[in-house]
Amino acid sequence: MLKNVYIFGIGMMGGSIAKALKKSKLAKKIYATDINPKVLEYAKTKKIINDFDYRSYEFLGEADLIIISSPMLAYEGIFKIIDNYCKEKCIVTDIGSTKKDCMKIIKKYSSLSKRFIGSHPLTGKEKSTIKNSDADIFNDQYVLLCPSLNSSKNAEVVVKNFWRSLGCKSLVISASHHDRILSKTSHLPHIVSYLLVNMILKDRIIDNLEFYTGGGFRDLARLAQSDSKMWSDIISTNKVNLIASIDKFILELTKFKKNINNRKANDIEKYIKSLKYHPKKRKNA
Amino acid sequence: MLKNVYIFGIGMMGGSIAKALKKSKLAKKIYATDINPKVLEYAKTKKIINDFDYRSYEFLGEADLIIISSPMLAYEGIFKIIDNYCKEKCIVTDIGSTKKDCMKIIKKYSSLSKRFIGSHPLTGKEKSTIKNSDADIFNDQYVLLCPSLNSSKNAEVVVKNFWRSLGCKSLVISASHHDRILSKTSHLPHIVSYLLVNMILKDRIIDNLEFYTGGGFRDLARLAQSDSKMWSDIISTNKVNLIASIDKFILELTKFKKNINNRKANDIEKYIKSLKYHPKKRKNA
């Protein structure tokens, strides 16, 4: 049982955390803040949270666990506020999609840094805002935990237990490893979908889209609908890795092009099959 | 009501057509052939078809409508067989994903060419073989119809009615327009998914895939599972358009990279939003 939980930013993800906590009766009190007071009123009226503060942070001082679920480019200011108002022993985590940038900021707050573990739950929805929040998006999902340079063991245990109580399995990895891997497994697929879907949509020769696209395009289009503010933040905070991943992918496309250009039908078939990853063939796996 | 329908190649798509025809009682008799006699036995035993021939083509001469649903690289031989065995008035169509190549082949058979209209139903499944066939995959789907150089109006009407009776809406376009558009809306997204998923799967630093991927990756992976024989055929028969589309996409990725590299967070957000296609801004639409 957690005592008081304070959610910094109550959009789709923050709202989902609040709902999941309510549903499982895990917290004594759930407080929230947000830059938009209407959202806070909505959350209180709908009983998603117990109470909120707006620019005053009086409930922040009562929190035992603080979860930052705001755009990552607001972290600079948020850590400063938390450092000013929070209890001495309160544990802090976040849900941001990149981790190295946030570790750079928390370094400036040595006491807070001890009580901070970054979290990245691999779950979500394309639709933002609290109205799309959902208590069940954490069931049986994965969360990556990234300690700061001086995170305490206690902080790790508290944050791990918090996610477990929401139904998530967790894995601890370094922030730099996290950002490098996620630039390939998550950020690159999103950017590729976004660019591909918009390239198709704006093409003048494609005059009747519904006739020319099947389920494959619809899946890509769904992926491309994600919140552009969130994705700008991800791109800004993981630029170097993302550019390296795009370069790697351009290389794959270029190799592919070259290989189909010089081959006959039978050889193309062999080539396509050879591109497919076969786990059994992997050495030292 | 169609009279006798003959399906050339009874895999997932051919089997689905047979099941849909049976379900709606549209054909008098459904015959099939395939390079695999076991599949034909299965189809007959399961009452998916009424009867089959194997290398003898005795039922081919009874067909009023022939639907070719074999790999496209087998068309050369199939058109020759059809031209040899079919009734004088029978109508022929196919379900291949590219159209220009098939028009080149049919040109050699001037009588058959009059009675041929190419079809491309924008529906399917990732799983091949007759065991995955499904009568309902055509409901409310789209099909593109491509006439040959000398297709008769009657052939167009018969093929259009056939698809309508299966629940499909159809659009007539030229084979070259079809291949150019589909290289962007369908072939490119598939190739991109295939290359991206396999690049991620074979990456040695990604040691724990389930922790690092969410729903976005799963959608891509589903797209990347499509039959590699079918995709080799598509690539072989639409190489020039596909290479042009890949080049266009590499250009988009390169522009993106350059634009995020030189910008600050706020400008990146503006840039990401500017990439999004907004139909209202389109001139002459």
Structural tokens at position B133? 């066939």
Q: Kindly list the residues from chain B whose CB atom is less than 8 angstroms away from the CB atom of residue A247.
A: 257
Mean pLDDT of B103-107: 96
Query: Alpha helix locations (H) across chain A?
Result: 12-23, 37-45, 75-85, 100-106, 110-114, 153-165, 175-182, 188-201, 209-212, 215-224, 228-237, 239-261, 265-275
- Mean pLDDT taken over chain B: 92
Query: What CATH topology corresponds to B178-281?
Result: 6-phosphogluconate dehydrogenase C-terminal fold (1.10.3660)
Confidence at residue A280, expressed as pLDDT on a 0 to 100 scale: 59
Confidence at residue A219, expressed as pLDDT on a 0 to 100 scale: 81
**Counting one residue from A and one from B, how many pairs have CB atoms under 8 Å apart?**
211
Structural tokens at position A150? 């001086």
Confidence at residue A284, expressed as pLDDT on a 0 to 100 scale: 45
Q: Within an 8 Å CB–CB cutoff, is residue A257 touching chain B?
A: yes
3-state secondary structure of A145: strand
Query: What CATH topology corresponds to B2-173?
Result: Rossmann fold (3.40.50)
Beta bridge partners of B27: B2
Q: Which pTM value belongs to this model? A: 0.89
* DSSP tag of B2: E
Mean pLDDT of B155-164: 96
Nearest-CB residue to A122 (from B211, B239, B253): B211
Confidence at residue B280, expressed as pLDDT on a 0 to 100 scale: 59
Residue B220 has pLDDT above 80, yes or no: yes
pLDDT tens per residue, range A89-124: 999 999 999 999 999 999 999 999 999 999 999 998
Residue B282 has pLDDT above 50, yes or no: no
pLDDT tens per residue, range A207-257: 888 889 887 788 888 888 878 888 899 999 999 999 999 999 999 999 999
- Does B249 sit within 8 Å of A195, measured CB to CB? yes
pLDDT tens per residue, range B18-73: 999 999 888 999 999 999 999 999 999 999 999 999 999 999 999 999 999 999 99
Q: Within an 8 Å CB–CB cutoff, is residue A87 touching chain B?
A: no
pLDDT tens per residue, range B106-145: 999 999 999 999 999 999 887 889 999 999 999 999 999 9
Q: Are A2 and A64 in contact (CB under 8 A)?
A: yes
Residue A8 has pLDDT above 90, yes or no: yes
CA–CA distance, B193 with A192 (Å, rounded to integer): 9
User: Which of the pair, A229 or A143, is modelled with greater confidence?
Assistant: A143
A45: confidence class by pLDDT, cuts 50, 70, 90: very high
Q: How far is A34 from chain B (nearest CA, A)?
A: 20
Cβ-Cβ contacts under 8 Å for B262 (sequence gap 6 or more): none
Cβ-Cβ contacts under 8 Å for B106 (sequence gap 6 or more): B79, B112, B113, B116, B148
| CA distances in angstroms from B254 to A285, B257, B259, listed in the order given | 33, 5, 9
Q: Are B29 and B4 in contact (CB under 8 A)?
A: yes
Q: Within an 8 Å CB–CB cutoff, is residue B258 touching chain A?
A: no
Mean pLDDT of A182-209: 92
Confidence at residue A10, expressed as pLDDT on a 0 to 100 scale: 97
Phi first, then psi, for residue A27 (nearest 5°) are -115, 150
Mean pLDDT of B156-178: 96
Q: Kindly list the residues from chain B whose CB atom is less than 8 angstroms away from the CB atom of residue A277.
A: 197-198, 201-202
Domain assignments of chain A as residue spans, ordered by start = 2-173, 178-281
Confidence at residue A220, expressed as pLDDT on a 0 to 100 scale: 84
